[in-house]
Amino acid sequence: MKYLVVLVIVVVLVRIDVVLRLFDKASEKINSSQPETQTSEPTAVHEVVSMSQDKTLKQTSRQVFLALLDDFHNNPTKDIRETAMTHFKSHPTMFNLTLDKELEMVVFRWRDLLNNNEPEMVNFLLDLLNVLQGENQEMIKRFFSLWMEIDMQNFLTAYSKTKDTNCMVATTFGDSIPEEEKLNEYIDREAAIAKILTNDKLDPTVRALATNCQLILNVQISKMAPPPPPPGEEDQAASTEEP
C-alpha cells in the first residue's frame, strides 16, 4: 500500500511537469506572434517650412516696402534706403494715385528724423518724391513742409533738389491747423526766409528757391490779411473815442 501511494505521487508529479512544459511552449508562441512594442519615447519631428512654401508667412510687395520704411526709421542707413528703393522699382504698382493711409502713417513716424536733421532721410524723401504719384506724392510734400517750422535753412537746402522750383509747397502744412492760425504761420515762414536771404554766400539754387517761396507766401499773406480801413475812418474812430 505504501509503495502504491508513492507511485501515484510520482505519476502526478510527472504529469504536472508535462503540463508546465506545454504551457511554457504555448506562451512562447503567443509572445513570438505579437509585434514588438517600442519602449523608448517617440522622437518629435520638427519640419522646417520655408516662407515660400507657407503662404501664411508670405508678405505682399507693399507690406515688404512698408516694413523697410519702418526699419529705416529705427536705423536710417543708406543700405536700407537703397534696398527699399530697389524693391519699389521691382514693384512700381504697389501704390496708385489714391492716398495710402498706412504709407502716410509710416512716413510721418519719421518726424524725429526731421528734428535730428538726418541726412539719409533727405535722400529717402527725394527718392519717394520721384517715384510716388498723386495723393501719395502730395503726402510726402506735406511731410517735407514740417521741416520749415523746424529748420528753414535745412528745408530750403534739401527742397532745392526737388522739381518744385516754384516752391508751391510754401503754403503747405504737414499738420492740420485752424484757418485762423495759418496767417501767423505764413508770416513766420516769410520772416525766416527773409533772414536767410540776407546771407550773401547763400547757394544760388537755394536762393532762387527761397525767393520763390517768399513770393508765394507774400501773395498768400496779402490775400488773408484783413483789409485796411477806408481813408478817414481811422480819424473818425479816434475822434469818437475822445471824451
Cα gap 125→135, rounded to integer Å: 15
Mean pLDDT, residues 172-197 taken together: 95
At residue 58 the predicted structure's pLDDT band, cuts being 50, 70 and 90, is confident
At residue 226 the predicted structure's pLDDT band, cuts being 50, 70 and 90, is confident
Mean pLDDT, residues 229-236 taken together: 62
Cα gap 202→207, rounded to integer Å: 6
**What's the alpha-carbon Rg for the chain, to the nearest Å?**
43
Q: What pLDDT, on a 0 to 100 scale, did the predictor assign at position 24?
A: 61
What sections of the chain are H helices per DSSP?
2-33, 61-74, 78-90, 101-108, 111-115, 119-131, 134-150, 152-159, 179-197, 204-224, 233-241
Q: What pLDDT, on a 0 to 100 scale, did the predictor assign at position 225?
A: 78
State pLDDT tens for residues 121-174.
999 999 999 999 999 999 999 999 999 999 999 999 999 999 999 999 999 999
How far the first Cα of the chain sits from its last, in Å, is 165
Whether the per-residue pLDDT at 47 is higher than 70: the answer is no
Mean pLDDT, residues 183-199 taken together: 97
The answer to whether 214 and 190 have CB atoms below 8 angstroms apart is yes
Q: Hey, what's the cell of 79?
A: 543700405
Q: pTM for this structure?
A: 0.70
Whether the per-residue pLDDT at 50 is higher than 50: the answer is no
Q: What is the mean pLDDT of the chain?
A: 83
The answer to whether 104 and 82 have CB atoms below 8 angstroms apart is no
